[in-house]
Amino acid sequence: MIDPVAFQIGSITVRWYGILISMAVLIGLLLTFREAERKGIEQEFFLDLFIYSIPVAIIGARLYYVIFSWSTYRYNLAKVFSIREGGLAIHGAIIAGLVVFYLMAKRRQVPFGQVIDTVAPALVLGQAIGRWGNFINQEAYGSVVSKEFIAYFPSFIQRQMLINGNYYHPAFLYESVWNFLLFIFLLVIKSKDFIKDGDLFLFYVIGYSLGRFFIEGIRLDSLMLGPFRVAQLISLLAILTGGIILYLKHRKGMGFDAG
């Protein structure tokens, strides 16, 4: 088992999860700067965007998680603020982040479609990296699998997926690989003639949601809404909404701007 604590400096504990998330943010920012330069958008705009959107995204991720886990927190409200114990949902982060993106794009008079397209590849690559933090924390895994099945994976994954005497699906790995392939796909199509402002982000939304829908089906830690997995419901809604917007943009000439 991998120790989730990377190192300690006095009373300060630095965890691998935090290191990986910080790495994902830094790489994402550098990729965004490079894409912004290609599109002719000031890099300073995206630096400000990251500064404002990251804390808002964290709040959104936590709020989303708490809402759909209310039975856990309703009698102990102090735990709502215990983020170190876990409980952040990527869908909440994306929704909250998009609100910041829209408001800043409108305020600075930068085309909203270009803003979200510039960020889309960096976002999905960051998610691919971040899932390895779940791996080290032994979370976001799937159902029980046989020893014969887990033997197809590298030994370090086998050891980390051995939890309380059982092997589990490395669902984190499935999503990480899917997100990385989606990242490559976005890089390939970003300069194609058929791509309009906002399309790249819509392809990200549809692609990520498609993979998440199926991977969520094997996870054991899903947030539930009655008998339904919340992430699957949100993924279906995102696929449907993204597909409709793409259709309207290309068939009906609908714009996609903040201004």
Two tokens, residue 243:
């597909």
Closest CA to 125 of 35, 226, 49, 244: 35
Cα distances from 21 to residues 9, 14, 31, 164, 222, in angstroms, run: 19, 12, 15, 27, 21
- Using CA atoms, how far apart are residues 242 and 247, in angstroms rounded to an integer? 9
Rounded to two decimals, what is the model's pTM? Answer: 0.92
Per-residue model confidence as pLDDT tens digits over 170-187: 999 999 999 999 999 999
Token pair 């819509």 in the structure block, residue: 202
Specify the pLDDT at position 27.
96
Higher pLDDT, 81 or 50: 50
pLDDT digits (tens, 9 = 90+) for 185-242: 999 999 999 999 999 999 999 999 999 999 999 999 999 999 999 999 999 999 999 9
Domain residue limits, the chain: 5-251
